[in-house]
Amino acid sequence: MYRGPHVDDSGLSGPPSICDVRPTTVVEDSARFVALFLAAGTPTLMPRPRQPGSPKPWGPGEWDLVPGTWSRWNTLLLHRPGEWRATWVQWSPSWEFLGWYVNVQEPLWRARWGFDFRDLQLDILVGADGSWQWKDQEDFARSTESGLIRDEVAKEAQAAAAAAVAAIEARDEPFDGSWEKWRPPARWPLPGLPNATELASALRWSAEDSLGRY
């Protein structure tokens, strides 16, 4: 499972709570990359604001974890060890290449259920032609102003975003098309969520869950 905790650096919300669960298939786990495949049609759990249209960040009691489906894309999630971002290579469900998505996040953390990641709101959309644009800058600003993301973490996020832009413009891997023709073996099954007992355990934050520092 690729699991995202909601973390409040101010400490006002208490310990992290799980706000995102995505079953994935491990494609590569090496010193070069951790690559996870998130197939179109995969069942997930995702946050939904109780007040429709309310802007992030959502605080305690302002969102619910609800069933969902990863339906719009086939996505390969690429993580370099220690890097403060993930790069998603994206295709349509029929495998038309759509481009990339840079998700600024804390470095990937190995966890008892697979991998945990902390989303830092700031994102970059990259078209198949290499053109790019910012996404969620306002969400990032609200999160830093509210203390949800503390200053030193925000600086790491901004540095990661700047490094990603440099890589995009230089057409460095993976923005060089090296993963564009990747396909999963046809025999791979669609991952699913665990049974109710295991899922209930996975959704409880415990002393075993740390993201390296929490």
Q: How far apart are CA 52 and CA 33, in angstroms?
A: 37
Average pLDDT over the chain, rounded to whole? 94
pLDDT of amino acid 214: 60
Mean pLDDT of 87-116: 96
| pLDDT score recorded for residue 13 | 84
| pLDDT band at residue 61 using 50, 70 and 90 as cut-offs | confident
Going from N- to C-terminal start, the domains of the chain cover 2-202
Torsion over CA: 158, 162, 163, 168 (sign) = positive
| Per-residue pLDDT, 213 | 65
| H helix count then E strand count, the chain | 3, 13
Query: Lowest-confidence range among 34-38, 53-57, 158-162?
Result: 53-57
Q: How many CB atoms lie within 10 A of CB 201?
A: 12
pLDDT tens string 150-186: 999 999 999 999 999 999 999 999 999 999 999 999 9
pLDDT at residue 126, rounded to an integer: 98
Q: Give domain 2-202's CATH architecture.
A: Beta Barrel (2.40)
Answer yes or no: is pLDDT of 87 > 70: yes
| 3-state secondary structure (DSSP) of residue 29 | strand
Mean pLDDT of 58-78: 94
How far, in Å, CA of 90 to CA of 99, rounded?
A: 6
**pTM for this predicted structure:** 0.94
Which pLDDT belongs to residue 205? 86
CB atoms under 10 Å from CB of 150, counted, come to: 15
Q: How far is residue 186's CA from residue 183's CA, in Å, rounded to a whole number?
A: 9
For residue 142, how far is the Cα from the chain centroid? 19
Confidence of residue 14 (pLDDT cuts 50, 70, 90): confident
| Residues across the chain | 214
Q: How far is CA 179 from the centre of its chain?
A: 19
Q: What is the model's pLDDT at position 9? A: 93
